[in-house]
């Protein structure tokens, strides 16, 4: 069966006609009773069951640092073993906080190329086992020329926030509006770490972490896993279950150190990847109905929505304040609650974004379902913008 399924189908898959046929995730949060492997296997089993496939041909696991968080590397093999999937190929993919997006993209290539028929793309992180999370996350920045001098990730994004506020008159309240909106969305998501709403005052008065960013501007420390099943469109049609089409897959890199970038108020990796994705799918930013973006900090959502072309440069702040990105706004952003409220188990985040797109596009997003969801975009980012993946998904 494996051999038959692995036969090259590159010609039939011209243009990369790939579908996401099933999804599964754990609740995000502090999952004290579950290990790294428990979390991944739970998500993967749900995705396999949800898709109706009887096997997978190969798998990719996005994880930022099994080594630093729980002392476990070789995560691809661990997960294949505990998923009962030995001897299929299993590869761990790492691109810091964009590991999930990169894992999805690897799976996409494998299906698009015809090398495999059914591929699982998953992501997982276990961050609450006692590791020094600040130090572990900081390894996604330049260790010798940024972290050495005492900068942290909130600090890097705080420097972007200050530059953006200086250049575009973005206000402190506008940053807070991102958190308020995403907590509101998260309150409607059963898998979210925080289901509590946050008021503007709560965000504005939360503990200062790195001026001007406060605690409620930051995504939390989380455990969680997410997985999706990809297959050819042709195969997906045979399964007779809801599926969505992967319309574009793009990726770009940026300099590892924030100070090496010409602009401190833009994320070039985002605009470059976005251009590629829109070109591939032959659509324009305003054709997108909703997006999941990498709001590791509130300022990130504002900059990313500008660099994706949803808003004019410098207008990301006012757009969130005016409600344009709310659930019933012109372009809902982070309907899942985003990293901010849903949680940010680093390696799982990129896959969880794909899952939210799938749920919205198949009409299964429950209380947070938006109307007319035809095209969704998922933007996943590593470090302070040194890597970015963008996927566009389409309802069928």
Partner 1 sequence: MISPKYHREIPQRYRLEAGKCKQCGTISFPPRLICPKCKSKNFETVQLSREGKILTFTIIRVGPDKFSKETPYVVAIIELNDGARLTAQVTDCDVNKVEIGTKVKLVFRKIQDEGKWGLHCYGYKAILI
Residue 90 CA to its chain's centroid (Å): 21
Identify the residue among 10, 14, 74, 135 touching partner 1 (CB under 8 A): 135
Q: Should residue 258 be labelled a site residue for partner 1 when binding is judged by CB under 8 A?
A: yes
Assess contact for 136 and 68: CB atoms under 8 A. yes
Q: Should residue 279 be labelled a site residue for partner 1 when binding is judged by CB under 8 A?
A: no
Q: Should residue 149 be labelled a site residue for partner 1 when binding is judged by CB under 8 A?
A: yes
For residue 55, indicate whether it is catalytic: no
In which order are the strands placed within the sheet that holds 118-126?
90-93, 58-62, 118-126, 223-232, 18-25, 244-253, 387-395, 375-382, 290-292
| Active-site option among 344, 357, 388, 391 | 344
Q: What is the dihedral of CA 207, 209, 211, 215, to 10 degrees?
A: -60
The region of 40-48, 57-65, 207-215, 272-280 touching partner 1 under the rule CB under 8 A is: 207-215
Residue 245: both structure tokens together: 């089409």
Largest CA distance in the chain: 60
Helices (H), 15-145: 36-51, 66-70, 75-82, 99-112, 133-138
Q: Which of residues 287-306 bind partner 1 (CB under 8 A)?
A: none
Identify the residue among 125, 146, 306, 356 touching partner 1 (CB under 8 A): 146
Q: Minimum CB separation from partner 1 for residue 163, in Å?
A: 4
Identify the residue among 197, 205, 260, 364 touching partner 1 (CB under 8 A): 260
For residue 177, indicate whether it is catalytic: no
Q: Should residue 145 be labelled a site residue for partner 1 when binding is judged by CB under 8 A?
A: yes
Of residues 13 and 141, the one with the C-beta less far from partner 1 = 141
Identify the residue among 72, 91, 139, 152 touching partner 1 (CB under 8 A): 152
Of residues 207 and 328, the one with the C-beta less far from partner 1 = 207
Helices (H), the chain: 2-6, 36-51, 66-70, 75-82, 99-112, 133-138, 153-168, 172-186, 200-205, 233-239, 268-281, 298-307, 316-321, 338-342, 346-361
| Active-site option among 97, 231, 269, 357 | 97
Binding site residues, partner 1, CB under 8 A: 132, 134-135, 138, 144-152, 154-155, 158-160, 162-163, 166, 207-213, 255, 257-260, 264
Write out the catalytic residue numbers.
97, 344
């Amino acid at each position: 069966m494996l051999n038959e399924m692995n036969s090259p189908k590159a010609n039939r898959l011209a243009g990369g006609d790939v579908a996401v046929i099933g999804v599964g995730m754990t609740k995000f949060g502090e999952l004290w009773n579950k290990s790294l492997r428990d979390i991944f296997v739970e998500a993967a089993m749900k995705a396999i069951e949800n898709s109706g496939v009887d096997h997978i041909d190969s798998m990719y696991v996005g994880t930022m640092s099994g080594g630093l968080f729980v002392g476990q590397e070789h995560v691809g093999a661990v997960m294949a073993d505990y998923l009962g999937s030995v001897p299929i190929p299993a590869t761990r993919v790492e691109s810091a906080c964009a590991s999930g997006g990169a894992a999805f993209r690897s799976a996409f290539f494998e299906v698009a190329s015809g090398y495999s028929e059914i591929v699982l793309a998953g992501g997982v992180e276990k961050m609450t086992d006692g590791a020094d999370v600040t130090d572990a996350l900081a390894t996604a920045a330049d260790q010798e020329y940024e972290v050495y001098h005492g900068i942290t990730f909130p600090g890097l994004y705080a420097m972007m926030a200050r530059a953006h506020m200086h250049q575009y008159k973005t206000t402190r309240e506008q940053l807070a509006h991102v958190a308020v909106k995403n907590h509101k969305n998260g309150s409607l998501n059963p898998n979210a770490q925080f289901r509590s709403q946050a008021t503007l005052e709560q965000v504005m008065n939360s503990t200062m972490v790195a001026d001007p960013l406060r605690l409620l501007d930051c995504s939390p420390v989380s455990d969680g896993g997410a997985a999706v099943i990809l297959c050819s469109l042709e195969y997906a049609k045979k399964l007779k279950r809801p599926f969505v089409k992967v319309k574009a897959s793009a990726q770009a890199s940026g300099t590892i150190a924030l100070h090496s970038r010409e602009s401190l108020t833009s994320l070039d990796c985002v605009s470059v990847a976005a251009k590629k994705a829109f070109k591939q799918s032959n659509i324009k930013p305003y054709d997108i109905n909703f997006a999941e973006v990498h709001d590791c900090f509130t300022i990130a959502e504002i900059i990313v929505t500008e660099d994706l072309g949803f808003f004019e440069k410098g207008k990301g702040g006012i757009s969130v304040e005016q409600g344009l990105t709310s659930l019933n706004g012109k372009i809902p952003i982070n309907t899942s609650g985003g990293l901010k409220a849903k949680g940010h188990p680093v390696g799982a985040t990129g896959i969880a974004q794909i899952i939210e797109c799938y749920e919205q596009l198949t009409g299964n997003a429950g209380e947070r379902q938006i109307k007319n969801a035809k095209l969704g975009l998922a933007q996943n980012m590593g470090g302070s913008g040194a890597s970015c993946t963008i996927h566009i998904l389409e309802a069928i």
